[in-house]
């Protein structure tokens, strides 16, 4: 018997497989096609203080082994997420979930974290720092170590739940940002969010997506994500959730060897809605084949 | 929604760049005309959404136009090849409130209307059918509609077949229309009819309602083309998205 359990800040997971924020909604659609309780946890769609419609159409562009999305954080706002979406999810998913929060100012992150703090089925708060900072000249929070520390500290003050900072890969030194979050009190690091990308329709001579640029994800970004997880794991002592392009059990093991305590599956859910159960099913078999008896024993074992 | 492994029974060119593919496989998740399937192709990351043209127990017909690498690949599939598709996607046309409907289709928007026409016929509703194409080489399925006993009017932009002009030229007064076609056509038809149902397209990632990639504004709040559509009611459509 292979032990595929893992742990995040005291939270025991049956397995390391967690659908990534924005690719699983609030679980309702997936619960109709498989038993979602087999999942390690679920990272729900990013929530902002106010409801957001998001960006204009088109929002999706295909790439070689990946996709670009510019959904633009469409969500019903924190109040409705707390009063409707999370309670509804609790009825069908009986484990702690990861609540993903976005904001355009420190106050907005704090506002949402404070509200989420009282939601019983939230096990971890994941702070997405990829949004532009409207008070800081529009540069993403996540590309400035000082701003990341500021958000981390402010959020930690209003919640008892573990706080994971979800980093954007669109920076020169990812380890520096991670260390800054750790020093400010973060309980863990999630990475990577999407990479900034673009496609042009050569017939119309216009960008494919209305917003011109968007978030690139899928198998094409896996090597970059793996490299960053490796660098961050080396630089911090807190747990790391690894994601970016994972699409099979082998990818999960590779990501964990690089330093991830658990993983998130994003775009893969969209092209194969049954990918998470498949990966969970395959994990013990693949572990066995390569002589792993305890999956968590391989975390960050690469020099 | 399930993923079904289909087998290609026929894949035939029926007009310029237009192919009809007949597939053998489980169609039990398909519940209404106007729904779509989302096809997995080996060399493309995202699936390809294609409307259900016609369906019966164990048989599915799709009609598609080759516009890029994915549909080109589909056109080269030979009899006996396998094709994986998520089925039972989208709402489809609601035939309940059809009073005295007209079916209006343009180009590659015609296929789902064929399945709809058959369904309406089963309920003893016999709408007239208006189809629009660019040119004679692009025309398809006029005869298939006629074979079912429908009164079919065809317009071509260049006048090479049927009447020269647009589908809207045939509309005098219309209470209720079932429509599918390019957005400019949908909009032009919308202006000339009193009520109806309109099928929309969007760039999709998932096709089953979780990514918000296809979300648009309507008079009743946002809707996901893939899960709340692709068919929208006249009364809810806002054109500012397109
Ligand atoms: C609900 C729905 C039903 C459809 N029904 C039909 C049908 O019955 N027959 C038919 O011929 N076509 C239909 N289409 C359009 C069809 O999905 C596209 O023509 C096809 O995806 C093009 O793929 P490609 O690889 O050949 O083109 P490419 O241009 O190379 O595709 C690149 C990307 O853009 C997307 N894309 C390109 N054109 C469209 C489009 N018009 N709508 C949505 N996504 C697009 C592709 O899916 C892919 O992700 C439908 C689209 C939707 C949304
Ligand atoms: C359609 C879509 C929506 C996303 N929405 C969010 C979001 O709301 N919040 C967030 O932190 N990340 C969001 N992401 C990023 C993913 O959670 C993940 O970090 C990224 O896609 C990399 O993983 P992948 O390659 O497996 O997709 C989104 C990704 C996609 C594809
Ligand atoms: S394509 Fe994902 S929600 Fe419609």
Task: Measure the CA angle with vertex B132, ends B129 and B134; round to 5°.
Answer: 160
Handedness of CA A184, A187, A189, A190 (dihedral sign): negative
- CB distance A60–B1 less than 8 Å? no
Q: Which two tokens stand for residue A145?
A: 């170590």
Concatenate the DSSP letters of all residues of A234-256 into one string: HH-SS-EEEESS--SHHHHHHHH
Q: Which two tokens stand for residue A211?
A: 């917003």
Whether residue A175 lies inside any domain: the answer is yes
B23 vs B14: CA distance, rounded Å? 16
pLDDT score recorded for residue A138: 65
Helix residue ranges per DSSP H, chain A: 28-31, 78-80, 86-92, 106-116, 145-158, 174-183, 222-235, 249-258, 267-271, 275-289
Residue pair B194/A5 in contact (Cβ under 8 Å)? The answer is: no
Ligand 2 mean position to A43 CA, how many Å?
Answer: 10
Q: Which two tokens stand for residue A141?
A: 């929070």
Instruction: Indicate the pLDDT class of residue A50, thresholds 50, 70 and 90.
Output: very high
pLDDT tens-digit series, residues A132-177: 777 776 678 999 999 999 999 999 999 999 999 999 999 999 999 9
Over residues A270-296, mean pLDDT: 98
- Residue B132 dihedral angles phi and psi, to the nearest 5°: -125, 140
Contact A265 CB / ligand 2 (< 6 Å) = yes
Q: Which two tokens stand for residue A19?
A: 């659908």
Whether residue A157 lies inside any domain: the answer is yes
Q: Strand pairing partners for B105?
A: B131, B180
Concatenate the DSSP letters of all residues of B163-198 into one string: EES-GGGG-SSBSEEEEES-HHHHHHHHHHBSSEEE
Q: Which two tokens stand for residue A137?
A: 């000249």
Q: What is the pTM of this model?
A: 0.97
Residue pair A187/A34 in contact (Cβ under 8 Å)? The answer is: no
Query: Which residue of the set A112, A131, A276, A287 is catalytic?
Result: A131
Contact A78 CB / ligand 2 (< 6 Å) = no
- Spatial CA neighbour of A279 closest among A227, A226, A238, A243: A243
Handedness of CA A28, A29, A31, A37 (dihedral sign): negative
Choose among A23, A64, A65: nearest Cβ to B211: A23
- Residue written as token pair 């310029």: B16
Helices and strands in chain A: count of H runs, count of E runs: 10, 15
Question: Which residues, given as ranges, of chain B have pLDDT below 70?
Answer: 241-242
Q: Average model confidence (pLDDT) for chain A?
A: 96
Give ipTM to 2 decimals: 0.95
Whether residue A1 lies inside any domain: the answer is no
Helices and strands in chain B: count of H runs, count of E runs: 4, 16
Name the percent of chain A lying above pLDDT 90. Answer: 96
Q: Strand pairing partners for B89?
A: B36
Ligand 1 mean position to B210 CA, how many Å?
Answer: 19
Choose among A61, A74, A209: nearest Cβ to B212: A74
Whether residue A148 lies inside any domain: the answer is yes
3-state DSSP helix/strand/coil % of chain B, to nearest 5: 20, 35, 40
The helix (H) or strand (E) run that includes residue B101 is strand B101-106
pLDDT score recorded for residue B240: 78
3-state DSSP helix/strand/coil % of chain A, to nearest 5: 40, 20, 40
Range(s) of the domain holding residue A252: 6-298
Q: How many residues does chain B have?
A: 242
- Residue written as token pair 């390809």: B48
Domain count, chain A: 1
Contact B165 CB / ligand 3 (< 6 Å) = no
Ligand 1 mean position to A194 CA, how many Å?
Answer: 24
Ligand 1 atom nearest B72 alpha carbon:
26
Ligand 3 atom nearest B203 alpha carbon:
1
pLDDT score recorded for residue A131: 77
Q: Is B241 on the interface with A (CB under 8 A)?
A: yes
All residues at 6 or more sequence positions from A285 whose CB lies less than 8 Å from its CB, including other chains: A249
pLDDT score recorded for residue B108: 97
Handedness of CA B200, B203, B208, B210 (dihedral sign): negative
Whether residue A303 lies inside any domain: the answer is no
Q: Strand pairing partners for B23?
A: B8, B60
pLDDT score recorded for residue B241: 63
pLDDT tens-digit series, residues A175-206: 999 999 999 999 999 999 999 999 999 999 99
Contacts of B224 in chain A (CB under 8 A): none
A112 is catalytic: no
pLDDT score recorded for residue B242: 54
CATH number of the structural domain spanning residue A292: 3.20.20.70
A229 vs A243: CA distance, rounded Å? 8
């Amino acid at each position: 018997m292979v032990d595929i359990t893992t742990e995040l800040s005291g939270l025991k997971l049956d397995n390391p497989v967690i659908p990534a924020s924005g690719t699983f909604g609030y679980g309702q659609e997936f619960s109709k096609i498989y038993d979602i309780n087999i999942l390690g946890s679920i990272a729900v769609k990013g929530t902002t203080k106010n409801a957001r419609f998001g960006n204009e159409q088109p929002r999706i562009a295909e790439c070689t082994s990946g996709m670009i999305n510019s959904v633009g954080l469409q969500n019903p706002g924190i109040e409705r997420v707390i009063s409707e979406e999370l309670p509804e999810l609790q009825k069908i998913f009986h484990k702690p979930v990861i609540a993903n929060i976005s904001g355009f100012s420190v106050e907005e992150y704090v506002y949402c974290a404070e509200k989420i703090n009282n939601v019983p089925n939230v096990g971890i708060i994941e702070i997405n720092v990829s949004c532009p900072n409207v008070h800081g000249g529009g540069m993403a929070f996540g590309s400035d170590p000082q701003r990341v520390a500021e958000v981390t500290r402010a959020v930690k003050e209003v919640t008892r739940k573990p706080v994971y900072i979800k980093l954007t890969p669109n920076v020169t030194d990812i380890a520096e940002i991670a260390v800054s979050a750790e020093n400010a009190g973060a309980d863990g690091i999630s990475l990577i969010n999407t990479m900034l990308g673009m496609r042009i329709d050569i017939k119309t001579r216009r960008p494919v997506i209305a917003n011109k640029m968007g978030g690139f994800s899928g198998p094409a970004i896996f090597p970059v994500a793996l490299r960053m997880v490796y660098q961050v794991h080396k630089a911090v002592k807190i747990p790391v959730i690894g994601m970016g392009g994972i699409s099979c059990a082998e990818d999960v093991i590779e990501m964990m060897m690089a330093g991830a305590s658990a993983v998130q599956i994003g775009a893969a859910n969209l092209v194969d809605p049954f990918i998470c159960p498949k990966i969970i099913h395959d994990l013990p078999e693949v572990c066995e084949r390569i002589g792993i008896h305890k999956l968590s024993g391989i975390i960050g074992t690469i020099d | 929604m399930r993923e079904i492994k289909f087998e290609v029974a026929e894949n035939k060119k029926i007009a310029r760049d237009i192919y009809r593919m007949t597939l053998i496989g489980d169609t039990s998740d398909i519940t209404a005309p106007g729904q779509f399937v989302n096809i997995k192709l080996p060399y493309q990351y995202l699936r390809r959404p294609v409307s259900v043209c016609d369906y019966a127990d164990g048989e599915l017909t799709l009609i598609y136009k080759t516009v890029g690498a994915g549909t080109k690949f589909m056109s080269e599939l030979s009899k006996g090849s396998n094709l994986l598709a998520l089925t039972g996607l989208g709402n489809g046309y609601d035939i309940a409130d059809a009073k005295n409907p007209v079916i209006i289709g343009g180009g590659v928007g015609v296929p789902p209307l064929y399945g709809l026409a058959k369904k309406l016929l089963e309920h003893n509703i016999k709408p007239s059918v208006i189809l629009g194409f660019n040119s004679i080489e692009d025309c398809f399925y006029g005869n298939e509609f006629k074979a079912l006993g429908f009164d079919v009017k065809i317009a071509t932009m260049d006048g090479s077949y049927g009447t020269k002009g647009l589908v809207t030229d045939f509309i005098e007064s219309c209470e209720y229309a079932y429509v599918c076609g390019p957005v400019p056509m949908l909009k032009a038809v919308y202006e000339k009819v009193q009520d109806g149902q309109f099928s929309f397209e969007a760039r999709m990632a998932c096709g089953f309602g979780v990514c918000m990639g296809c979300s648009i504004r309507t008079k009743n709040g946002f809707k996901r083309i893939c899960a709340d559509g692709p068919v929208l009611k006249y009364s809810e459509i806002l054109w500012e998205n397109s």
